Amino acid sequence: MIAPSLLAADFARLGAEAEAVQDADWLHVDVMDYHYVPNLTIGLPVVESLRRATSLPLDCHLMIDDPDRWAVSYAEAGATNVTFHVEAAADAVATARAVRAAGSMAGLAVDRDTPVEPYLDLLTEFDTLLVMTIKAGFGGQRFLPEMLEKVRTARRHMNAGHLRLFLEVDGGIADDTIAEAAEAGADVFVAGTAVFGADNPAAAVAALRARAHTVMA
Ligand code: DX5
Ligand code: ZN
């Protein structure tokens, strides 16, 4: 699945930008709070408005402190998936259960400097694992191929345990990096700059999907 990230879109025209990628699978919404990451983006009121403005499933990526307090509100706002960072959560399992009880999928994110192994046993409580392929906080950074070792580790664990999760990669995903991420075992690809920085975002989504399929087929 391809999940264009609105972080690279025109924030004054979010509805139209969502419309431009309506053939995508999910719409990735980066929520940043100036604290967990040193950047500030959008919050709950914008997600509530987006829910009314597009029929695309909303993939909310919370890069915020205290997700235990806030994650459920994003589920209640109509997110299809609410991902929060394991580094920021006080009780990741309780928060995942609350998100699921509110009707959303729950996602666990691991940032660049966080290993994945200590959290593999939590994955039965989640629907999505998001492996950052950059340091969370800003779009337009260079893809870090060494992060794919975490993707491979998680994919092996999921296969061995017959876990049915989405394995999502986020950061620097573009035509020249998506194939190696797919090969490593990712199946959801977030792309900001590669989609909204393109002249034709819809064509960029189609090209990314085709490129990923060449290795996943
Ligand atoms: C950054 C965000 C990403 C960002 C990726 O912390 O989580 O979703 O939009 O941007 P690109 O695709 O430009 O690396
Ligand atoms: Zn993101």
Q: Which residue has the tokens 């959008």?
A: 42
- Res 30 pLDDT > 70: yes
| 71 within 8 A of 33, measured Cβ to Cβ | no
Does residue 141's CB lie within 6 angstroms of at least one atom of ligand 1? yes
pLDDT 10s digits, 118-160:
999 999 999 999 999 999 999 999 999 999 999 999 999 999 9
H-only helix segments in the chain? 14-20, 44-53, 67-76, 92-101, 148-160, 178-184, 193-196, 201-216
Calpha distance 105→64 (Å, rounded): 18
Does residue 170's CB lie within 6 angstroms of at least one atom of ligand 1? yes
Query: Which amino acids are annotated catalytic?
Result: 30, 170
Calpha distance 133→209 (Å, rounded): 18
Question: Which atom of ligand 1 approaches the CA of 143 most closely?
Answer: 14
HSE (CB half, 13 Å, CA atoms) of 159? Answer: 9
| 86 within 8 A of 92, measured Cβ to Cβ | yes
Q: What percent of the chain has pLDDT over 90?
A: 99
| 59 within 8 A of 83, measured Cβ to Cβ | yes
Closest-CA residue to 59 (of 30, 92, 99, 88): 30
The residue type at 115:
P
Distance 171 CA to ligand 1 centre (A): 5
> What are residue 188's phi and psi, to 5 degrees?
-130, 130
Question: Which atom of ligand 1 approaches the CA of 193 most closely?
Answer: 13
Question: Residue 45: CB partners within 8 Å, gap ≥ 6?
Answer: none
**Two structure tokens written together for 141:** 């950074």
Burial of 25: CB neighbours in 10 Å, binned 0-12, 13-18, 19+: middle
CA angle 149–153–155, rounded 5-degree value: 115
- Res 60 pLDDT > 80: yes
Residue 217 pLDDT class (50, 70, 90 cuts): low
Does residue 191's CB lie within 6 angstroms of at least one atom of ligand 1? yes
The pLDDT value given to residue 216:
73
| 113 within 8 A of 137, measured Cβ to Cβ | no
| 109 within 8 A of 137, measured Cβ to Cβ | no
List Cα–Cα distances, 139 to 8, 41, 105, 121, in angstroms. 7, 12, 24, 30
For CA atoms 112, 23, 165, 14, the dihedral sign is positive
Q: What is the mean predicted confidence (pLDDT) over 71-92?
A: 98
Does residue 107's CB lie within 6 angstroms of at least one atom of ligand 1? no
Distance 32 CA to ligand 2 centre (A): 9
Q: What percent of the chain has pLDDT over 70?
A: 100
For CA atoms 167, 171, 173, 177, the dihedral sign is negative
Distance 84 CA to ligand 2 centre (A): 10
